[in-house]
Amino acid sequence: MGRLLELAGVTVRFGGVVAVSDLDLHVDEGEIFSLIGPNGAGKTTVFNIVTGVYEAAQGSVTLSGRSLRGRRPHQVTRLGVARTFQNLRLFGNMSALENVMVGADARHRTGIPGAILGLPTHRAEETSGRETARELLALVGIAELAEDAASNLSYGDQRRLEIARALATEPRLLLLDEPTAGMNPPEKSALQGLVRSIRDRGVTVLLIEHDMSVVMTISDRVAVLDFGRKIAEGQPADVRTDPAVITAYLGAPTDAA
Amino acid sequence: MKGPQTGIVLIGVLLLCALAAMGASATTAFLLERVAYRPLRRRTTSRLAALISAIGASFFIQEVFALRYGRDILPFPRIMNKTVLFHIGSGEVRTDKVLVVLAAIVMMILLDRFVGTSRLGRGIRATAQDPEMAVLMGVNIDRVIVLTFILGGLMAGVAALLFGTFFEVTQYNIGFLLGIKAFTAAVLGGIGNLRGALIGGFALGLIESYGASIFGAQWKDVIAFVVLVLVLLVRPTGLLGEQLARSRI
């Protein structure tokens, strides 16, 4: 198992505030890796650094040894990193299928001339893009909603659609930002199954998650952030019993009133 | 070949004129995007900045044409015979009017299909709704935006030819009021909705014409802009409009 994503000495500042401080983190190929921590710990900031939305003030970010620093978001996407959002960001007026096809388009090679001339290569790409999109909708379990406007889907289905859309860019690394937020227990367990099947397709998964039962069940490894620093890392069982983690989540015993 | 043409020659002349007009308009649109919009997009996300830049570019082009051709109304050659086909009440149905209406409908259908089904169309709709997200999905939005401008230029070229054929006059600033009317029609129909723009255009035209026959022709433009103000006050999303607020999370 090679290293897929590696962050070394990464620091991010917003004005005078240090959002992430001297962070070392690595995700191996084929892993399900969870990033947990209290609100404001810097988890989403890590996602934004990896995807090129923010640039780190210091440190290096590499994907299979290639630096991601200074790359624009669409370049990072093409290198094989996709993500979903904590607050859903679908193209609401487009159908579920079209949302996924936008992602698939990123991988296409033929351009406008091909479209106007109706070249066979272009049409083949369109057809395969559509097939891939349908396949991904089936994978996340919303195949029958393909033609519905994304904004008409239920909350849980919108989350699934975001995952399908992210997968359409053919990522090697998928970043999921609180995928089970707002889901009920049966939906949560279905989503865990989905995350596993995504990993089994060869996609490495890095997720931010608040629900501890989800984290402990599906993660291979877990890292805990607090105030932008990594305070623990390891197997779920070890992290759960780590005193620093318990302190971060519950407050130090000496603070108890 | 002077004077109006008929038959196959007329169709050929119209097509040639359309191609020339579309080429000129699309080239202008391409250059405008590069000079007046793209630099702003890199620096700011303010939509107001783009709007002000658009107005400035519009004045620049008008004045260039005023310097070259003067400020007077100029004649536009007659391309086609304007035969009265039949009457509806006291209204004449003439060949040129039929051409304008048919061409507008055909263009709208083609544009609607293109934006609705092609890959570029998907890119356009995705970029319009959430540019940041479109980028994260691997859409090259700079390319999508410049192609959208070119597409708009192609449509404007056909519109200019139809306008010239119908009114047979032109002037350095002929497009300015038309552009604002087109904007009004788009707002009336709902910004971001192609079918809405078509309906808005027809609605605005009818309101203007009937309004002018009631209040007098000098009130025509006043009526159009009263409509714009009323729509913005009462129903900012337009007749078929999308909820713009949704797309800006």
SS3 for A143-183, per residue? Answer: HHHCCCEHHHCCHHHHHHHHHHHHHHCCCCEEEEECCCCCC
The residue-averaged pLDDT of A130-139 equals 92
3-state secondary structure of A21: strand
Q: Residue B139 class from Cβ within 10 Å (0-12 exposed, 13-18 middle, 19+ buried)?
A: buried
Do B138 and A72 make contact, defined as CB atoms within 8 angstroms? no
Closest partner residue to B138 among A78, A93, A115, by Cβ?
A78
- Show residues of chain B in contact with A151, CB under 8 Å: 246
> Does the complex come out with an ipTM higher than 0.90?
no
In terms of pLDDT, which residue wins out, B52 or A246? B52
Q: Which residues contact B104 (CB under 8 A, 6 or more apart)?
A: B162, B198, B201
Our CA-based measurement puts residue B135 at a distance from the nearest CA of chain A, in whole angstroms, of 5
**Rounded Cα–Cα distance for residues A195 and A209 (Å):** 12
What letter would DSSP give residue B2?
-
Q: What is the pLDDT along chain B (249 residues), one digit of tens a residue?
A: 556 777 788 889 999 999 999 999 999 999 999 999 998 887 777 778 888 998 999 999 999 999 999 999 999 988 888 888 888 888 888 888 999 999 988 998 999 989 988 888 999 999 988 888 888 888 888 889 999 999 999 999 999 999 999 999 999 999 898 888 998 998 888 887 888 888 899 899 999 989 988 988 888 889 888 988 998 898 888 887 655 444 333
Question: Counting one residue from A and one from B, how many pairs have CB atoms under 8 Å apart?
Answer: 74
Do A107 and B138 make contact, defined as CB atoms within 8 angstroms? yes
Torsions phi, psi for B11 (to 5 deg): -60, -45
Do B126 and A102 make contact, defined as CB atoms within 8 angstroms? yes
The answer, yes or no, to whether residue A235 has pLDDT greater than 70, is yes
Give the model's pLDDT for residue A133. Answer: 92
The ranges of chain A annotated as CATH 3.40.50.300 are 1-80+172-257
Searching chain B, which residue's CA lies closest to the CA of residue A88?
B249
CATH class of A1-80+172-257: alpha beta
Question: Is residue B25 within 8 Å of residue B153, measured between CB atoms?
Answer: yes
DSSP characters for B13-56? HHHHHHHHHHHHHHHHHHHHIIIIIHHHHHH---HHHHHHHHHH
Question: Per-residue confidence at A245, pLDDT binned at 50, 70, 90?
Answer: confident
pLDDT tens digits for range A165-194: 999 989 999 999 999 888 889 989 999 999
Structure tokens at A11: 């620091």
Our CA-based measurement puts residue A249 at a distance from the nearest CA of chain B, in whole angstroms, of 30
In terms of pLDDT, which residue wins out, A244 or A250? A244
Q: How high does pLDDT run on average in chain A?
A: 87
Closest partner residue to B129 among A77, A92, A105, by Cβ?
A92
Give the model's pLDDT for residue B103. Answer: 92
Question: Per-residue confidence at A252, pLDDT binned at 50, 70, 90?
Answer: low
In terms of pLDDT, which residue wins out, A32 or B3? A32
- Show residues of chain A in contact with B148, CB under 8 Å: none
